Amino acid sequence: MPVSEASHKDSDNFLSWSFERPEDNTSSVYLNGSLNTQNLSRLWQETEKRIDEDNTKNLIIDAGKVNYLDMSGQAYLLHFSRLIEERGGKSQIKNLRKDFADMLGQLSCFDCMEKTAYPKSSILEEIGKATIKLGHDARDFFTFVGQFVSAFSHALIRPGTIRWKDVYLNIENVGAKAVFIVCLIGFLMGLIISFQSAMPLRMFGAEIFVARLLGLSMVRELGPLVTAIILAGRTGSSFAAEIGTMKINEEINALTTMGLNPVKFLVVPRMLATMLVMPFLTLFFIIFSLIGGALVMLSLGFPLITYINQITMSLTMADFAGGMFKAVIFSLLVSWIGCVRGLQTTSGAKAVGLSTTSAVVSGIVLIAITDGIFAVTFYILGI
Amino acid sequence: MRDDVVISVKNLSMGFQDEILMQDISFEIYSGDIFVILGGSGSGKSTLLKHLIGLYSPLSGQILIKGRDITRADDSEKAEIMRAIGISYQSGALFGSMTLLENVRLPLEEFTNLTITAMNLISRIKLSQVGLIGYENHMPSELSAGMQKRAAIARAMALDPSILFLDEPSAGLDPITSLELDELILNLAQSLRITFVIVTHELSSIFKIGRRMIILDKKRKTIAAEGAPADLRNNSSDPWVRSFLNRTNPDKVQNLKH
């Protein structure tokens, strides 16, 4: 006596089923229609529930009216006959069309060949692996520094071997195309800093010192720093992504096997270009920040000439040179870490993403650390 | 016209901007067919495949999949058509951040309500079909190119589609695996009436499994021949087609005696 009937109705995708109560712990399932991925889910869940509730020992699946059975349908038959047999019962699939039965026969042992042993690693193993990885990373780091120094000094001794075409291309990408964003951020920062500092200084009638403040902080500190951070986001990431993609496409291997040194071929032109354009970008940044400041001062009623005089009086050539020197060092770090992360890319799209992120983060961290070192050094040297 | 047409291409011309790659392409693919698209390198086989699955839009013409025009379908209709087809790409295109099992399970997770046990079993059966049982927890990057390709076929089969598009499935496989793959295709086409559309260069495989084929000619920019592979090889009136299928140099074909 059928106790439950259900069906999955779909235009040409009909499936109905019914269950019979266990007699001598034996349940029967009658299937009718097409058993496939799209309509299987309810049947599967219901069968599972039935078997548990009725405490089924033996199962008979009557597939006499099944007119289509795809591989997911086969999985259904396979799963429940295995489940019953694992519990020590007997399962039987009746009246299955011959070609389907043949296929089920083939599938029934799909995983006999290889029982997967899931490798489980203990926490000690994980720690060990992480330590080894750290060691490898450190070694890679020093190897890369060595490779870079050798490639760069070679290029300096023989400038003819540098791929100048790539350098020019990179100058355009890193420099010319970055001018707008650098100017924009510079202008905004100049505007904001001078306005915000003018407000409290006004209480003492000392707004004119905004010019000194802005000039000094931009030239010595913020100009190089913020430009380098923009560069880390814009250029460091693009180097990492580009070289990383080349790495996973085996282009780096191709270069190596052609006898070309990837560091010399890819890294040197990029770093050279970045170092060449960085002072100019910093200069743009400083000039536009001062223009922003000038706007605030003009609106506060100071003539332009006073503003300019204040700035030129407060700044020395040493301030300017120090700022530019910092800028060049920052650019070196940013472009270098971008290329390193690119070359360290392992494989797959995800790895490229990780390299890119890491290029930006490491770039900014390096900039921050180096800036601290500069601050201390300049202070001790009295610059 | 037969009534079991699943894909019908009418007067298709394809290309990029002004450059016409192929024009006036018309053919039909029937249910349970193993249909082979062959052509020289750069003749547009893969491009034709990408038109068939709606990735590229044609310059003109119609592509009907189960009676629905994929070139004019809107996004939701396209998605519906897509669910009835499975595609394995030339380079595998497995998701690098997922294990093989997760790769195969993804379509099941997204498009069915099956329980996790069911999905895992189905995915493992699919992987076993391409000889990758035991590698469920490997990442794609840990596998050889051939294995990745097979895993991609398993993923294409995840939802038991009625049409499977395979772009160069046996390229990069060893002869035994490639033979097994051929047998799998034959088996699936016979027992499940899955329709296969295969782009391939492997002549031995074409003669073993292909029921019908078209050969694209780059010079003429259209279909050079259509028919059963063995028939075309032996009886085609076009010497270029015969030489192509017999692996002889077309320039010397004039001297061949038939």
- Domain-wise residue ranges, chain A: 2-107, 148-381
pLDDT higher than threshold 60 for residue A117: no
Is A110 in the B-facing interface, judged by CB distances under 8 Å? yes
Mutate to test the interface with A, among B85, B100, B119, B122 (most CBs of A within 10 A): B122
| pLDDT band at residue A1 using 50, 70 and 90 as cut-offs | very low
For the complex shown, is ipTM > 0.85? no
pLDDT for A237 beyond 90: yes
Average pLDDT over residues B95-112: 86
CA distance B114 to chain A (A): 5
Q: Is the CATH code 3.30.750.24 the one for domain A2-107?
A: yes
- pLDDT: which is higher, A114 or A187: A187
Q: Is the pLDDT of residue B49 over 50?
A: yes
Residue A188 confidence (pLDDT) above 90: yes
B46 Cβ neighbours under 8 A, 6+ residues apart: B90, B167, B168, B199
Q: Which domain holds residue B231?
A: 5-84+161-255
A188-227: buried (b, 16+ CB within 10 Å) or exposed (e) per residue? ebbbebbbebbeebeeeeebbebbebbbbbbbbbbbbbbb
In chain A, what residues touch B96 (CB-CB under 8 Å)?
Answer: 347-351
Question: Which residues of B fall within a CB distance of 8 Å from A37?
Answer: 108, 112, 114, 122, 159-160
B window 229-258, beta carbon within 8 A of A: none
Q: Write out residues 174-213 of B within 8 Å (CB-CB) of A.
A: 187, 190-192
Q: What is the mean pLDDT of residues B70-84?
A: 81
pLDDT band at A287 (very low <50, low <70, confident <90, very high): very high
DSSP assignments along B77-114, one per residue: HHHHHHHTEEEE-TT----TTS-HHHHHHHHHHHH---
Least confident of A191-200, A284-293, B4-13: B4-13
Number of domains within chain B: 2
Inter-residue contact A294 to A328 (CB < 8 Å): no
Average pLDDT for A351-373: 93
Mean pLDDT for A60-86 is: 84
Q: Chain B: residue nearest A72 by CA?
A: B122
Q: What is the pLDDT of residue A217?
A: 92
A116 touches chain B (CB under 8 A): yes
Return the minimum-mean-pLDDT range out of A217-221, A330-334, B8-12, B94-98: B94-98
Q: How far is B33 from chain A (nearest CA, A)?
A: 17
Residues of B in contact with A349 (CB under 8 A): 95-97
Tell me what pLDDT residue A145 has: 84
The H or E element that residue B64 is part of is strand B60-65
Last residue of a domain, one of B117, B141, B160: B160
pLDDT of the residue at B127: 87
Same domain, B72 and B165: yes
Give the pLDDT confidence score for residue A90 in this predicted structure: 82
* Rounded Cα–Cα distance for residues A291 and A186 (Å): 9
Q: Is the pLDDT of residue A369 over 90?
A: yes
Q: What's the pLDDT at A374?
A: 93
Of A41, A74, A347, the CB nearest to B125: A74
Q: In this complex, which of B96, B112, B128 lies closest to A38 when CB atoms are compared?
A: B112
pLDDT at A61: 85
Least CA distance to A108: which residue of chain B? B125
Asked whether residue B15 falls in the same domain as residue B71, the answer is yes
With an 8 Å Cβ cutoff, are B114 and A103 in contact? no
* Cα angle for residues B93, B190, B152 (degrees, 5° grid): 10
Query: Which of B192, B194, B195 to probe by mutation at the A interface, max A CB count within 10 Å?
Result: B192
Give which of A244, A62, A271 is closest to A166, Cα–Cα.
A271
Nearest CA in chain A to B131: A110
- If one compares A225 and B18, the residue with the highest pLDDT of the two is A225
Asked if B160 and A41 come within 8 Å (Cβ–Cβ), the reply is no
Please compute the mean of the pLDDT values over residues A47-72 and round it to a whole number: 82
Closest-approach residue (CA) in chain B for A41: B114
Chain B: residue whose CA lies nearest to A40 = B114
Determine the average pLDDT of the residues in A30-57.
83
Residues B173-199: what's their mean pLDDT? 82
A45, A72, A111: residue with CB nearest B128: A111
pLDDT of residue B109: 85
Given this model, what pLDDT does residue A4 score? 53
Structure tokens at B165: 């598009």
Q: B122, A70: Cβ pair inside 8 Å?
A: no
CA angle (B222 as vertex; B221, B226 as ends), nearest 5: 150
Please tell me the predicted confidence (pLDDT) of residue A118. Answer: 55
Global pTM reads: 0.71
What is the pLDDT averaged over residues A156-167?
86
pLDDT-based confidence at residue B258 (cuts at 50, 70, 90): very low
Tell which of B135, B160, B185 closes a domain: B160
* A79 lies within 8 A of chain B by CB: yes
Q: If you average pLDDT over residues A36-65, what whole number do you get?
A: 82
Q: Could A351 and B139 be called an inter-chain contact, meaning their C-beta atoms sit closer than 8 Å?
A: no
pLDDT number for residue B256: 46
Q: Which of A169-183, A304-318, B69-83, B94-108 has the lowest mean pLDDT?
A: B69-83
Mean pLDDT of chain A: 86
Average pLDDT, chain B: 82
Nearest chain B residue to A98 by CA: give it: B191
Across B72-94, b (16+ Cβ under 10 Å) vs e yields ebeeeebeebbebbbbbbbebbb
Picking from B160, B181, B196, the residue at the C-terminal end of a domain is B160
Q: How many whole angstroms separate alpha carbon B153 and alpha carbon A204?
A: 76
- Which stretch of A1-15, A220-234, B79-93 has the lowest confidence by average pLDDT? A1-15
For a pLDDT cut of 90, what percent of chain B falls above it?
A: 2
Answer yes or no: are the C-beta atoms of B232 and B213 closer than 8 Å. Answer: yes
Over the stretch B190-217, which tens digit does the pLDDT of each residue have? 877 789 999 888 888 888 888 888 888 8
Same domain, B170 and B245: yes
Q: Is B143 in the same domain as B15?
A: no
End-to-end CA distance of chain A: 98
C-alpha span between B22 and A382 (Å, rounded)? 74
The larger pLDDT score, comparing residue B21 to residue A370, is at A370
State residue A2's pLDDT score. 45
Measured between beta carbons, the chain A residues lying within 8 angstroms of B112 are 37-38, 40-41
CATH number, domain with residue B34:
3.40.50.300
Higher confidence at residue A230 or residue A15? Answer: A230
